[in-house]
């Protein structure tokens, strides 16, 4: 074991002395000089990021298929000394570059917010005394103190003490983790109870939290808007170049001079470029985003509006997304002579709200919801939960009689009760097995008269679970009705995942994420296609599953609320941060829900499909007009041996047509009932046929004008 290689499992299996020795540290921590040396060697507790020069980023917007066409056309206009047309084309290039540059700035938000999460102060032992240091200056081998409310800033090996940590935002697990000596506390967890001393084992990008940051940096959402633009420009470029070559060849045959030929080429190139495409796309998506904002959906990445129209798989995080991320008492099993209300009342007396413990809070909330009154009951003393004892105890007075009440892990409380009767033993085992199969945490309750000594008497069992949101089941059915396949991804256990997936209608084919490991790419795809969800997943697993689906040609949506969801949220075509999500999740997502529940996802998909219809209308119109113009002026040149329009006239015609048709962004359209996709091989031929028909109509008008009205 050393400073840079050990895993969390290896550390938990080691003794504190071994870990300290492997880190070349001690119970007294590091000296200031040694810490400074390690800071130079290992770097600060932060994620280094290579920042690209914004000027270079902006200039890159002038590089690409559409800019190339416009730049070539601009060069030709300057050669021909048509400076006004050249300036007009340059202005358009700059406007399009500016739109793209401004949209790209949002992609850096997630990493910045993740890095800010590490900007906290920690209590560290240096030179034999406790001091407060910026968490960014922590190094492997530092001895640190963790207490209630602390955000764990590094990966820590617990030397001594006991903690209850909330890792739901990090791992997706809904239940708190109980840590004691030789356990690992991961960066990004929040201490909910207890205090402990530990040694730092990993910092910065090497921590569990830091690896999530690295994943967010590497996530590259596949923008269908970029694919659309490239597809349109590719077809238009082929058409424009073909017409230019054809007409130029004929011009050479007619012995035209080089400047006339260059002018012809420029006319066709300008006519073929969809100059307003970036602006139209932005306007159409902005209209959709404005409509969504009125329904409680905030759009942080405009591309996601159009991308969402083609989604055919939607990955749902469980905790806080499908479920409430709040423990509740799902069931109470009482052992005679006690009743269910008595068991819950005893459990409430053995709970304390001040502890801010998820289990205590759930029991007290349920007791209040059921109207249980604790009048006539008085708590005389209270022993809080600890990972070592695995129970809470309270001495209470009920109607003048004193009792000692305990609640905790069944196997611990049954030892306090001594040998159970065959009847109670059978009931307890059956109930515990049933609760476990349903993915519930089982809490036992026992009681005895205080002052008499002797053994406790089993009172009953409580099943605690994180229930689904009320609208989750209906939303899943609506998602299916829209032709989208739901897939649940959760960090919770297989039993919990199966129970929740079954309750909301996702399905029961739930597997462990580890089953994907060691398989070939084809086998991984087959396993995902044959599953309704995965349990015990880590951030890298969610990210990998989204990537695998995209590699197979699927368009993927993803919901989430925690740090662990951030990489997958950014990678997905439609990353959706639910209400109450962490800042990290919100910054990584394409859309953010501001209201509880998931019904707004249906609105988002509907608006995205309406956006697609508007874009489809504009693209059909644009391709039709381009084909019409190219065919008309090509045929006209072969017929009349002269270009029917000047270079300036073509520029004005293109700009007028493109920007007037921006009004399509507000057209009234109807969303489809199935996912949309840009099938350019169907769209272009259909538009080309219309364009040719319009061109023939135009040529007929020219023929009539020349033959019957003798127009020159």
The answer to whether 627 touches 688, Cβ cutoff 8 Å, is yes
Q: How far apart are CA 267 and CA 247, in angstroms?
A: 11
The answer to whether 270 touches 650, Cβ cutoff 8 Å, is yes
Pick among 3.40.1110.10, 3.30.505.50, 3.30.750.24, 3.50.50.60: CATH of 328-465 = 3.40.1110.10
**What is the number of other CB atoms lying within 10 angstroms of the CB of residue 220?**
10
Estimate to the nearest angstrom the gap between the alpha carbon of 157 and the chain centroid: 29
Based on the residue annotation, tell me whether 317 is a catalytic residue of this protein: yes
Taking CA 494 as the corner, what is the angle to CA 491 and CA 500, rounded to the nearest 5 degrees? Answer: 85
Contacts of 333 (CB under 8 A, 6+ apart): 340, 343, 427, 431, 460, 461, 462, 463
Residue whose pair of structure tokens reads 């996912």 in the numeric block: 675
Structure tokens at 353: 């709200």
The helix or strand, by DSSP H or E, that contains position 291, with its residue range, turns out to be helix 277-293
Q: How far apart are CA 137 and CA 46, in angstroms?
A: 9
Closest by CA to 334, choosing from 351, 322, 347, is: 347
337 preceded by cis ω (within 30°)?
A: yes
pTM, two decimals, is 0.72
| Amino acid 159: pLDDT | 93
Q: How far apart are CA 589 and CA 531, in angstroms?
A: 25
Estimate to the nearest angstrom the gap between the alpha carbon of 519 and the chain centroid: 25
Q: How far apart are CA 549 and CA 533, in angstroms?
A: 13
The answer to whether 701 touches 634, Cβ cutoff 8 Å, is no
Q: How far apart are CA 63 and CA 69, in angstroms?
A: 10
Half-sphere exposure of 348 (CA within 13 A, CB side): 24
Taking CA 661 as the corner, what is the angle to CA 275 and CA 676, rounded to the nearest 5 degrees? Answer: 85
- Positions of the chain with pLDDT under 70: 1-13, 47-52, 99-100, 103-119, 168-175, 212-226, 355-356, 387-388, 451-453, 583, 712
Task: Give the largest CA-CA distance in the chain.
Answer: 121
Taking CA 178 as the corner, what is the angle to CA 174 and CA 182, rounded to the nearest 5 degrees? Answer: 135
Q: How far apart are CA 663 and CA 283, in angstroms?
A: 9
DSSP codes joined into one string, 156-209: EEEEEEEEEEE-HHHH--SSPEEE-TT-EE-TT-EEEEEEEEEEEEE-GGGSHH
154 backbone dihedrals φ, ψ, rounded to 5°: -145, 170
Taking CA 431 as the corner, what is the angle to CA 426 and CA 432, rounded to the nearest 5 degrees? Answer: 100
Out of 142, 317, 466, 561, pick the active-site residue. 317
The helix or strand, by DSSP H or E, that contains position 126, with its residue range, turns out to be strand 121-126
CATH code for the part of the protein at 8-49+119-152+155-202: 2.70.150.10
Closest by CA to 111, choosing from 654, 678, 566, is: 566
What DSSP state is assigned to residue 321? I
pLDDT tens, residue by residue, 563-587: 778 888 888 989 998 887 776 778 7
Helix (H, G, I), strand (E, B) or coil at 439: coil
Query: In what order do the strands lie in the sheet containing 401-408?
Result: 328-334, 457-465, 441-449, 401-408, 391-398, 377-383
Q: How far apart are CA 248 and CA 267, in angstroms?
A: 11
Q: Pairing state of beta strands 313-317 and 485-489?
A: parallel
- Burial of 512-535, coded b for 16+ CB within 10 Å and e otherwise, reads ebeebeeeeeeebbebbeebbbbb
Is 572 exposed, middle or buried, given 0-12, 13-18 or 19+ CB atoms closer than 10 A?
buried
The answer to whether 673 touches 482, Cβ cutoff 8 Å, is yes
pLDDT tens, residue by residue, 406-438: 999 898 899 888 888 889 999 999 998 898 888
Contacts of 594 (CB under 8 A, 6+ apart): 296, 297, 298, 579
Query: Which regions of the chain carry the CATH code 2.70.150.10?
Result: 8-49+119-152+155-202
| Amino acid 213: pLDDT | 63
Structure tokens at 675: 């996912």
- Burial of 248-263, coded b for 16+ CB within 10 Å and e otherwise, reads bebbeeeebeeebbbb
For residue 668, CA distances in Å to 15, 454, 509, 610, 663 come to 69, 78, 41, 8, 11
Structure tokens at 354: 């001040």
For residue 344, CA distances in Å to 322, 328, 351, 364, 444 come to 27, 12, 11, 9, 11
| Amino acid 341: pLDDT | 92
Query: Which regions of the chain carry the CATH code 3.40.1110.10?
Result: 328-465
């Amino acid at each position: 074991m050393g400073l840079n290689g050990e895993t969390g499992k290896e550390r938990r299996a080691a003794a504190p002395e071994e870990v300290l020795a492997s880190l070349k540290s001690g119970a007294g921590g590091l000296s200031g000089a040694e810490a400074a040396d390690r800071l130079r060697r290992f770097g600060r507790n932060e994620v280094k990021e290579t920042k690209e020069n914004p000027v270079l980023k902006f200039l890159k917007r002038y590089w690409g298929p559409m800019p190339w066409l416009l730049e070539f056309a601009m060069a030709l206009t300057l050669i021909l000394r048509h400076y006004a047309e050249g300036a007009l084309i340059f202005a358009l290039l700059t406007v399009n570059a500016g739109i793209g540059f401004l949209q790209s700035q949002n992609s850096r938000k997630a990493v910045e917010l993740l890095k800010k999460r590490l900007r906290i102060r920690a209590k560290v032992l240096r030179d034999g005394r406790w001091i407060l240091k910026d968490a960014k200056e922590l190094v492997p081998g530092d001895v640190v103190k963790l207490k209630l409310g602390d955000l764990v800033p590094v990966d820590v090996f617990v030397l001594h003490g006991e903690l209850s940590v909330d890792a739901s935002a990090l791992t997706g697990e809904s239940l708190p983790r109980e840590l004691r000596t030789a356990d690992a506390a991961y960066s990004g967890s929040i201490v909910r109870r207890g205090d402990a001393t530990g040694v730092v084992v990993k910092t910065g990008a090497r921590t569990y939290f830091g690896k999530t940051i690295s994943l967010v940096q590497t996530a590259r959402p596949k923008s269908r808007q970029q694919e659309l633009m490239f597809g349109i420009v590719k077809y238009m470029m082929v058409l424009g170049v073909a017409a230019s070559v054809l007409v130029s060849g004929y011009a050479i045959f007619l012995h035209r001079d080089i400047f006339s030929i260059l002018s012809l080429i420029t006319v066709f190139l300008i006519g073929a470029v969809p100059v307003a495409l970036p602006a139209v796309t932005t306007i159409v998506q902005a209209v959709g985003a404005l409509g969504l904002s009125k329904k409680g959906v905030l759009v942080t990445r405009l591309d996601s509006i159009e991308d969402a129209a083609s989604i055919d798989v939607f990955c749902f995080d469980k905790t806080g997304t499908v479920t409430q991320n709040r423990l509740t008492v799902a069931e109470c099993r009482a052992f005679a002579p006690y009743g269910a209300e008595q068991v819950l009342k005893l459990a409430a007396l053995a709970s304390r709200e001040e502890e801010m413990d998820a289990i205590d809070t759930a029991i007290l909330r349920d007791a209040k919801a059921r109207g249980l009154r604790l009048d006539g009951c008085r708590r005389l003393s209270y022993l809080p939960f600890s990972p070592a004892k695995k129970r809470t105890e309270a001495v209470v007075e009920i109607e003048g009689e004193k009792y000692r009440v305990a609640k905790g892990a069944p196997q611990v409380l049954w030892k306090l009760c001594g040998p159970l009767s065959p009847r109670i033993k059978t009931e307890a085992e059956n109930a515990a097995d049933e609760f476990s199969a349903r993915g519930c945490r089982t809490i036992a309750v026992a009681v005895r008269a205080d002052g008499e000594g002797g053994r406790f008497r089993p009172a009953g069992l409580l099943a605690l679970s994180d229930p689904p949101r009320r609208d989750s089941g209906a939303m899943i059915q609506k998602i299916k009705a829209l032709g989208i396949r739901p897939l649940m991804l959760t960090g919770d256990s297989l039993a919990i995942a199966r129970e929740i997936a079954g309750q909301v209608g996702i399905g029961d084919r739930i597997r462990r994420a580890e089953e994907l490991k060691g398989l070939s790419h084809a086998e991984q795809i087959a396993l995902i296609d044959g599953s309704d969800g995965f349990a015990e997943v880590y951030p890298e697993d969610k990210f990998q599953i989204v990537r695998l689906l995209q590699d197979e040609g699927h368009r993927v949506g993803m919901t989430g609320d925690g740090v662990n969801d951030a990489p997958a949220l950014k990678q997905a075509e439609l990353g959706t941060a639910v209400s109450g999500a962490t800042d990290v999740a919100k910054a990584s997502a394409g859309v953010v829900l501001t209201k509880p529940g998931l019904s707004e996802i249906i609105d988002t998909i509907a608006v995205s499909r309406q956006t697609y219809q508007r874009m489809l209308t504009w693209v059909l119109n644009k391709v039709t007009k381009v084909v019409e113009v190219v065919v008309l002026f090509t045929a006209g040149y072969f017929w009349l041996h002269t270009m029917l329009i000047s270079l300036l006239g073509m520029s004005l015609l293109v700009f007028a047509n493109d920007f007037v048709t921006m009004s399509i962004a507000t057209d009234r359209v109807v969303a489809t009932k199935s996912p949309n996709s840009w099938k350019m091989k169907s769209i272009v031929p259909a538009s080309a046929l219309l364009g040719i028909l319009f061109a023939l109509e135009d040529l007929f008008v020219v023929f009539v004008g020349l033959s019957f009205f003798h127009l020159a």
